[in-house]
Structure 1
Amino acid sequence: MEVTELTWKNPRAIAKALTIVENNDEQVTSLMDQVYPKTGTSHIIGITGAPGAGKSSLVSSLIKQFRGRDLKVGIIAVDPSSPFSGGAILGDRVRMQDHSLDKGVYIRSMASRGSLGGVSVSTREAVAILDASGFDIIIIETVGVGQSEVEVIQIADTVSVVLTPNSGDSIQTMKAGIMEVGDIFVINKLDLPGADKILREIESMLDFHYHDDTERPEIVSTSAVSGQGINELANVFIDHKNLLKDTGRWEELRNERAQKQVLELIRQDLGRKLELLMERHQGEDSIMEQVKTQQISPHRAAIKLVNEVMGG
């Protein structure tokens, strides 16, 4: 496909490009060669937190806020993979259906495909496609799978951790190390009992972790149902983007992500080649047969296979 077709005004072209990356089609490399030079302008926001924290409702409310400011918004809702088809469960699309007729909003559910971090390899390419299509803001809403979800920081400019009162997720999240991940902490469902308690807990943890007020994450209390705090939260996201640009961190993040993506793609490619090689080494006198009969250790077998792939 021609990348000139990629624009927020052409959802069909976007859908076609996203399908190519989700299916890891042979056109991926050619597509990304054209897409990558057009990226770098979108503000990428990661919304993470435990299941039931109201992330999807919060995202829906944020869409209204950003659209009210004439900002075009792309949404990638990373869903748990179906154990049968590998496809995404479309719950997020149902919850965000109020925006389905808005041409300035594009929503795509993507399968996590078993990725521990809640974000699959293709999510990076999907972000690039929406970026190249001219969306001002791209929101990644992750599945909420706990500790390993911190991987979202490798994709987003601004990471928001969503917590709720009386759900026990405050302690769980702090233990999971997400305190170091969040740029913004959102106490959602503030009308529930215990909102003040969790606010004090987060403030206490931030006091312990951060001694420089310029780096200290913001805390915003919201109610996605009533809309309370949503305008303030949208302002905090925009302020964080401006801070990143003013400090030069905006470009640093893009350089860091590019290096991590190259490394990730190398691992993916080598992994496929090693799997094929292992399949060929299953017969008599093969490396894997030597491991099976304890003639060599798995460590030695791994070295031999890697050297064979690398031509060493």
Structure 2
Amino acid sequence: MSYTPVNKIRIVTAAALFDGHDAAINIMRRILQGKGAEIIHLGHNRSVKEIVETAIEEDVQGIAITSYQGGHVEFFKYMKDLLEENGCGHIKIFGGGGGTILPGEIEELHNYGITRIYSPDDGRQMGLEGMIEDVISKCDIHLNGKAEYATAMKLGEVKDVRKIARQITNAENGQAPSALQTGGNIPVLGITGTGGAGKSSVTDELVRRFLQNFNSKTIAVISVDPSKKKTGGALLGDRIRMNAISHPRAYMRSLATRDDNTALSHHVQEAIDICKDAGFDFIILESAGVGQSDASILDYCDVSLYVMTPEYGAASQLEKINMLDYADIICINKFDKAGALDALADVKKQYKRNHGLWTAKDEELPVIGTMASKFNDEGVNHLFESLLKVIEKKTTINFGEFHFSETAKVSQSIIPAKRVRYLSEISENNRNYDQLVKDQATIASKLYKLEGSLEALAGKADEALLEVIRGQITFYTGQLTPVSRKLLQHWNDKVTEYSKDYYEYTVRDKVIRQEMFSKSLSGTRIPKVVLPKYRDWGDILQW
């Protein structure tokens, strides 16, 4: 009988530092999701500091790690130490690494306080689902009460992220926070868009620029991902793209919608209020992937950013997107894709229609092409500058002096859109050539056999039969390409030429003689070119 958890379970999953094997942890986190857990997945090659910081900020019950890199004893012990030092020793640690973690090392880690390291024997006895249910049952604890810690944070965070994280957890569990100070003018940027448009990558680039340019400012990111209707589990995977968020002045919290057919959690406003109460200077709210009609993020933000890609279908589809009516700025991400410039023109036309800006110049419209995956992308720089101007206009908040070039140039991608399939075209061409050679060789073999049959039956068989053979020879000869016919016609001449002592050819009326044989020390004549002794025309042509 499978275990049914009582509480909402949140677990951080990752593969250890210097470990590029993420197949195992991906299997485990998928089964955990299937059991109803909310998984904050970090991917592979993650350090202890990153994992512990994430676990504390996300207020999880457990951490699940796969480690195949050999340094597991130090890795897990340091993780336990860092959790204890930061007052979060209640977070349980689970791990596995197949045969790389020896039984003696497993016992040592268990004695040190690691909740469970699973061995290959455990896998055979319990099975995958048995191990996952063991993790679920051990993590099924209620995180309740105020976050009061005797020790200071050792991770160097500017804010007490433990307290912030627990307040948000309490809000998700139905315990509304009391006496929050939310009166300050703290701008909230709402980022929404279709699934896979690159919202997290754009968010990460905005966070990076904010932290780099405003040295005294703090930022909070609230990211929402959908819960599965069938299982209740969720993959909160936005942190995989968040490379800039591991910073003392930054805080991030991932929320599951815990409902279907919605792009935001019901506790988004409480999470925003808690971050405002904590005194963050800037808050970003990122929604889950939305459909054409969704504009719910507008209820929670001061400034809205809609992220899309050039691959939206026909231009008429733009007329159905609600956010094109309301978004302060529209970002066309993945601008290196084919058709990006056409998409930019179409979106600008639609923006003019929606807002009645018939005489506005295209460069004045808040529609910007970006490549968030590219370092220091000019489009993202222009987007960041535009957002700061809109924030100042709508909230009167000015974070400080910040300048980029006045116009955003269209950036060239590493591989131009017209040459994205360049290597594929080369391989296709090679495969097509190989197939052509194979087909031509088959035809040549049939011709060789027919010519041999005609020669053998001449004067012995009925004339009607010979006529049929001649007809087949004519047919298959017509199937050969001119190049194939030429190669076969001159094959015997080529064999004769290469068999001579000298090969002669003319360059600018001068005859060049090339020796075709060399002598070994024993006086043996060794040909420089040895042609195959094939007789079948198909073999000759293929060679």
**Same fold (TM > 0.5):** yes
Task: Give yes or no for contact 1:116–1:149 (8 Å, CA) kept in 2.
Answer: no
Give 2:225's aligned amino acid.
D
Query: Please, which of 10, 17, 22 is the counterpart of residue 172 of structure 2?
Result: 22
SS in 2 for 1:38: coil
Task: Give yes or no for contact 1:146–1:173 (8 Å, CA) kept in 2.
Answer: no
CA shift, 1:165, in A, is 1.4
Give 1:9's aligned amino acid.
K
SS in 1 for 2:179: helix
CA shift, 1:61, in A, is 0.9
Q: Which residue in 1 is equivalent to 2:371?
A: 223
Q: Which residue in 2 is equivalent to 1:43?
A: 187
Task: Give yes or no for contact 1:47–1:161 (8 Å, CA) kept in 2.
Answer: yes
Q: Which residue in 2 is equivalent to 1:61?
A: 205
Q: Sort the Cα spacing of 1:18 and 1:88 in 2 relative to 1 into closer, same or farther, 3 A.
A: farther
SS in 1 for 2:384: helix
SS in 1 for 2:267: helix
Alpha-carbon distance between aligned partners in 2 of 1:8 and 1:122, rounded to the nearest angstrom: 24
Establish whether residue 174 from structure 1 lines up as the match of residue 324 from structure 2: no
Give 2:343's aligned amino acid.
I
**What percent identity do the matched residue pairs reach?**
32
Q: Which residue in 2 is equivalent to 1:77?
A: 223
Query: Please, which of 392, 416, 419 is the counterpart of residue 242 of structure 1?
Result: 392
Q: Which residue in 1 is equivalent to 2:285?
A: 140
Larger Cα-atom Rg: 2
Q: Sort the Cα spacing of 1:147 and 1:3 in 2 relative to 1 into closer, same or farther, 3 A.
A: farther
Task: Give yes or no for contact 2:207–2:245 (8 Å, CA) kept in 1.
Answer: no
Alpha-carbon distance between aligned partners in 2 of 1:153 and 1:175, rounded to the nearest angstrom: 17
Give 1:240's aligned amino acid.
V
Q: Which residue in 2 is equivalent to 1:290?
A: none
CA shift, 1:69, in A, is 2.0
Q: Which residue in 2 is equivalent to 1:52?
A: 196
Give 1:189's aligned amino acid.
K
Q: Which has the higher helix share?
A: 1
Q: Sort the Cα spacing of 1:170 and 1:133 in 2 relative to 1 into closer, same or farther, 3 A.
A: farther
Q: Which residue in 1 is equivalent to 2:19?
A: none
Q: Which residue in 2 is equivalent to 1:307?
A: none
What's the TM-score, normalizing by structure 2? 0.41
Alpha-carbon distance between aligned partners in 2 of 1:119 and 1:152, rounded to the nearest angstrom: 8
Q: Structure 2 unaligned runs (5+)?
A: 1-144, 150-156, 397-543
What's the TM-score, normalizing by structure 1? 0.69
Q: Which residue in 2 is equivalent to 1:131?
A: 276
How does 1:1-312 map onto structure 2 within 5 Å?
A: 9-25=159-175, 28=176, 31=177, 33-35=178-180, 37-70=181-214, 71-83=217-229, 86-96=232-242, 98-114=243-259, 116-168=261-313, 171-211=316-356, 218-226=366-374, 227-228=376-377, 229-245=379-395
Q: Sort the Cα spacing of 1:223 and 1:4 in 2 relative to 1 into closer, same or farther, 3 A.
A: same
SS in 2 for 1:149: coil
Give 1:43's aligned amino acid.
P
Task: Give yes or no for contact 1:43–1:136 (8 Å, CA) kept in 2.
Answer: yes
CA shift, 1:8, in A, is 5.3
Q: Structure 1 unaligned runs (5+)?
A: 247-312
Task: Give yes or no for contact 2:204–2:245 (8 Å, CA) kept in 1.
Answer: no
Alpha-carbon distance between aligned partners in 2 of 1:173 and 1:133, rounded to the nearest angstrom: 39
CA shift, 1:180, in A, is 1.2
Alpha-carbon distance between aligned partners in 2 of 1:16 and 1:2, rounded to the nearest angstrom: 7
CA shift, 1:204, in A, is 0.8
The two structures, once aligned, show a CA RMSD in angstroms of 2.7
Please list the CA deviations of residues 148-194 of structure 1 after superposition, one character each: whole Å capped at 9, or x if unmatched: 53010011111111111134286545303221121100011111111
Q: Sort the Cα spacing of 1:167 and 1:122 in 2 relative to 1 into closer, same or farther, 3 A.
A: same
Q: Sort the Cα spacing of 1:149 and 1:115 in 2 relative to 1 into closer, same or farther, 3 A.
A: farther
